Structure 1
């Protein structure tokens, strides 16, 4: 059951925060900030209390599906899912790309369902390490799979904008279940993900 953000309370607390840092919440540039923050938090934390497994409820049987001859004999790999979340330590954003792979057992699922799992779990106060583990657990526990691999590559505001201020730094985490807990079994997928990441990095380089 989704927990609705208390917008009125967020507005009141935002006003109090502005006052606490010595600002005037009634000056023209800040008058709308409390309501904007309430709207922002409603979006950023929409996954609090939401069931991340719900998108996986509709599956297709590999053996009894409508077109079994088109279903995969190997891994299903979905790369470059854009996500954003909020670090629970400083309430600063972190954002990046998620790469998901699973080795189907009797069931496959629509690719959009995997995206929704990421979106729901990311829309909560998070840390990247736990986010990857939660995504892997949700897929492994609610879909018939022989293996699951989740790779997250993200840039964190608490690293790029405060402290050491390393604007180019990113964090890579890996969560694996089933067959993919064996590094040899997941080597091909890691190579494919790495090729995608390298291509994206090259595309971002200035001419």
Structure 2
């Protein structure tokens, strides 16, 4: 705008003082713009350093931690399954306990399964939201320039994933992997197990306060 005013003044041969004043304002504005560009460039470089030197290693560390967590959980669940299978197949392993204690344990297990189902869903959603936020932020960095105008333009996101820093590919692959997880199947299985567990609650003891002993895993009381 200032440049346009200056050109108009010069073309109309206005007073020298007016032109000089406008020219000084234009130079001052130009200097401010250069300073602002320099600051923006410095901030952009700092953001890139944070992205590549701090955020990327932290994401890699998080991925390794999640891998270790799932490996440990797999081993724990496998051991639990082996113990349960051995107990089920051993006809002499009959554990008796007071019906009230059985009711409390069964009810506690049912509640924990419902809590696990809810927590698992929230955990996956939180992980997805976290990655989407990071992915959205890193894509606001300086865009890559197209090398050729003859070829069909490719989406900037594809170029960043293929040619940009590793963090773009990391987030892209991670988000795609999350999208393929059978979250609903897992949640439905946990809920189904909770429902099956509830069937073993000693309703007769629960409703009437019967003190007879019962076997864990036995048939539901009539």
TM-score (norm 1): 0.30
Higher radius of gyration, 1 or 2: 2
Query: 1 or 2 for the larger relative contact order (CA 8 Å, sep ≥6)?
Result: 2
What TM-score results when the alignment is normalised by the length of structure 2? 0.28
The structure in which a higher percent of residues are helix is 2
